[in-house]
Structure 1
Amino acid sequence: MDERVADTPVAPQVQHFPCVVYETQKKMDDYQAPDMRYGDLNAHRLMTYYGLTDVSTLVDPYTLQQLPGNSVHVPVYQPLPKRVTLSRGECTRRMFNEMRSLSHMPFSLYGPYRYVINEMIDHLQYGHGQVFRSPLLNQAIKEQITQDSSADNTLKIIEKVLDATIVKSKKTVPTSFKTHMQERISGGRLPKFDRLEDRANGLGITVHDTWATYITITSVVFSTTSWKASVHYRIQDHFGLDDDDIMNWEFRQWRFFRLWFVLQRYSAMAHRPFITEMETTMEIAGTL
């Protein structure tokens, strides 16, 4: 008579932390993205294909000549002032200063984040493409998540999914929760600065949308009657312009962006765009 082994239920595997529960299709540290190009266009291409002839009010970036600020008002019977040819470094310096002077109106008018754009312009000028980090932007990300009262707030989604999947009698989290978590977060709203107020508080011009987001549950701790989890957001954006940006009239109409594009993409200037990295850790909790 054959012996039969009774089927025994397999205990669910326990998830260990930290655990990445969500990541965008776009990857971190992507230096091959279109908006990370620099120094790849010559003067002829910039002027003809992109139509960037009116770039600066102070200098001509292609001839390095200083522009007469009041030439429009000079009577026709008077000769125009003699143009002065500047060094490449001086021409670039004046363009960056002009870009700074245009950064606050209307993009960064009020609030604690209005001067971050100045730091980022400085970094574009002197940072040589190094990653940019700012405690203020970390704070802004945290505030955006905290103040988002919508049902598709990713932190609220994580809290609900985690609370529903915790095996409360055993105080464990099964590995199966991760797949469900990824699906739910994909339908949520990731932190970004595309709200109406971000157009004038300095966050729209510095970050606006984001490139890549990784969300990690770093720990889940149980007590007698409750659980508590730490959720870490790591977010990257690119401070750079691609072709679609400058060909879009919403950007192109502003001299600020025309200066930026030429400073970044003109082969004679080639200032490197950079990755802006933001992070914050939030806590969520529930009862057993």
Structure 2
Amino acid sequence: MEVVNDFSASMYLPRTLFETVARFDDTTADDMQCGDMSDQDLFSLGLSDISAKVDPYRLIHYDFPMTYQMDSIYNTSVSGRKISRDECIDILFTEMKDLVQMFSFWGAYKALIVELIDHFRHRNGSGFYSQRLNLAFHERINSYFVDNPRLIIEGIIRDEFNSKPDSIHLPSLLNSIKRSLLESKLPKFDSRIDRINGLGISVHDIAVQKITLVNLQRYAMGWSA
């Protein structure tokens, strides 16, 4: 058995093969900044048509579902009954869960968006963890799609071993992989099926990814990494 990851090779591994400019858990990033906004702040952004069931600005539950945008935050022509802040919150989150069903009605991950909404409501900004989401991303990494980074890495290692059966120069191999990954497409939930299986509505984009080669071994009948 010939082992590539011997004492000299261990000097080069683990090796980061690709890393986005954005960093994990960077709470200073622009899109990680948040804070409370007043009614006027939200309304100034054009957020007047919040709900078909309630007016969260005036805490009014409509007698009939709204189908048009309010002209003013102080519009009093719409009939309804006064409700408490907690009642309004319950209605808004229930309505949100109902509305997302049109984007999340098929497959094993259709309930993921409800997990996210419940976390958004009750966890006070803490990090979100889901074994269901981890499994979905693991499947996406290992699925076939054009310019999949995993397939690119496997192809380069396989070609290197086939063309150099006796020995390889690990630093050159690692640099070749890093260059090729610049042309890869990072795995995301952006396929057509993701529009209805709960993944697209739950994870609009993935801003941070990192690919690391931890170990590489070559055997008489193959290799592993």
User: Contact 1:165 / 1:173 at 8 angstroms: preserved in 2?
Assistant: no
For residue 182 of structure 1, give the secondary structure of its aligned residue in structure 2. Answer: helix
Matched, 1:162 2:157: yes
User: Contact 1:165 / 1:174 at 8 angstroms: preserved in 2?
Assistant: no
- The residue that corresponds to 2:31 in the other structure is 35
For residue 209 of structure 2, give the secondary structure of its aligned residue in structure 1. Answer: strand
Matched, 1:94 2:55: no
Matched, 1:18 2:11: no
User: How much does 1:27 deviate?
Assistant: 1.2
For residue 132 of structure 1, give the secondary structure of its aligned residue in structure 2. Answer: coil
- The residue that corresponds to 1:240 in the other structure is none
User: Contact 2:51 / 2:66 at 8 angstroms: preserved in 1?
Assistant: no
- The residue that corresponds to 1:138 in the other structure is 134
Q: Which runs of 5+ in 2 are unaligned?
A: 1-7, 68-76
Distance 2:126 2:20 in 1: 22
Matched, 1:216 2:212: yes
- CA, structure 1 residues 92+68, in 2 after alignment: closer, same or farther (shift >3 Å)? same
For residue 216 of structure 1, give the secondary structure of its aligned residue in structure 2. Answer: strand
Pick the structure with more strand per residue. Answer: 1
Larger mean CA deviation between 131-140 and 30-39 belongs to 30-39
User: How much does 1:45 deviate?
Assistant: 2.4
Kindly provide the amino acid, as one letter, of the partner of residue 223 in structure 1: Y
Number of corresponding residues: 206
User: Contact 2:52 / 2:66 at 8 angstroms: preserved in 1?
Assistant: no
Q: Aligned Cα RMSD in Å?
A: 2.5
Match of 1:85 among 76, 83, 86: 83
- The residue that corresponds to 2:5 in the other structure is none
User: How much does 1:174 deviate?
Assistant: 1.7
- The residue that corresponds to 2:107 in the other structure is 111
For residue 171 of structure 2, give the secondary structure of its aligned residue in structure 1. Answer: coil
- CA, structure 1 residues 91+225, in 2 after alignment: closer, same or farther (shift >3 Å)? same
- The residue that corresponds to 2:52 in the other structure is 57
Percentage identity across paired residues of the two chains: 34
User: Contact 2:52 / 2:65 at 8 angstroms: preserved in 1?
Assistant: no
- CA, structure 1 residues 136+226, in 2 after alignment: closer, same or farther (shift >3 Å)? same
User: How much does 1:25 deviate?
Assistant: 1.3
User: Contact 2:104 / 2:201 at 8 angstroms: preserved in 1?
Assistant: yes
TM-score (norm 2): 0.80
Kindly provide the amino acid, as one letter, of the partner of residue 51 in structure 1: G
Distance 1:123 1:82 in 2: 30
User: How much does 1:112 deviate?
Assistant: 0.6
User: How much does 1:55 deviate?
Assistant: 0.2
Distance 2:20 2:143 in 1: 22
